[in-house]
Amino acid sequence: MIPNRAPSPVEKLALAVVHQPERATPAPAGAREDALRFLLQTAADAGVTVVATRPDGDGERLLGQAWPFPSPFRVTVRTVSIEEGVDRVEARARRSLERMGLPRGDTLLASRASDLVGAEGRALWDRMQALKDRGLFRRIGFCATVEDGPALLARRFQPDVVQLPCSLLDQRVHRTGVLDEIASLGVDLHGSSVFAGGLLFMSGDALPPEMAHHAPQLSRIRRRLAEARVDPMQATLAYTLSLPQVSAVIASAASAAEIRAVLAAAHAPAPALDWEKLQLEHPAAGAAGLRARISSAA
């Protein structure tokens, strides 16, 4: 069993703002900006201090217009693909800060581990290190999955931060010892995809095709939680927040109402559950399709 989470779970919560229209109530542009300000202020008032961003669409610019003042947030920025060239990666990282109105960011993450193992991987890392040395980012690191061999990459590049998918349904980074191995190197670990694309909140008919074969398992997991009188969101956050190796648990939210629900679930008493029995038996099956779905939604 995993030890109970820290007394103040919000200290480990990080926010990824979802800008997709399907997750937000339709509204005029001005109202959307006000809603984003309210979302960020709600998170700030609750003590959330980390915001994870992506260089997609108009999200960075919208955040730049909506930060509370003074902003309490440490911002994590992700690179664009190395396929665009190292110069473009650096220029876009700088542009991310400009779009958000920030003189510097907290963390710059290589978006894909595959960018670091390719022919230009070392050049990419050296360019990220140079941005850190110039004071534009306090820390650098990379995003990876369990299939990428993140512990080996961490030993090779010695990052400050590694971001890994980690959820109640897919506990592999915990069960295989990957979290322990990376944490032993003094690396900060951020858990992403903690809601696993919302699978626990979907009925069997609503599951994406690549995950449909998991419907019976998901039904059994939901039934176990219902019998224990534990909400799926509460269980999901309790599991990830209780992992001692993970310093930041990134939860996505599209509105102040959603972040309030996340905060309420995080503050709920930690349930006495056998976490190991609440994971999918073969989470790797369909993981690639699920990651693509999560990437497009959060």
Cβ–Cβ under 8 Å, residues 265 and 24: no
User: pLDDT tens digit string along 28-38?
Assistant: 656 788 999 99
Mean pLDDT, the chain, integer? 89
> With 70 as the cut, is the pLDDT of residue 214 above it?
yes
Closest alpha carbon to 123 in 157, 78, 152: 157
| Cα–Cα distance for residue pair 224/230, rounded to 1 Å | 9
Residue 254 to residues 20, 57, 192, 282: CA-CA distances in angstroms? 8, 15, 16, 30
Give Cβ neighbours of residue 37 (< 8 Å, ≥ 6 apart): 66, 68
Among the CATH numbers 3.50.50.60, 3.40.50.720, 1.20.58.100, 3.20.20.100, which is that of 9-297? Answer: 3.20.20.100
Closest alpha carbon to 268 in 230, 224, 240: 230
The kind and range of the H/E element at 51 are strand 50-52
Q: What percent of the chain has pLDDT over 70?
A: 88
- The model's pTM: 0.89
> With 70 as the cut, is the pLDDT of residue 289 above it?
no
User: pLDDT tens digit string along 105-135?
Assistant: 999 999 999 999 989 999 999 999 999 999 9
Domain residues of the chain, as ranges? Answer: 9-297
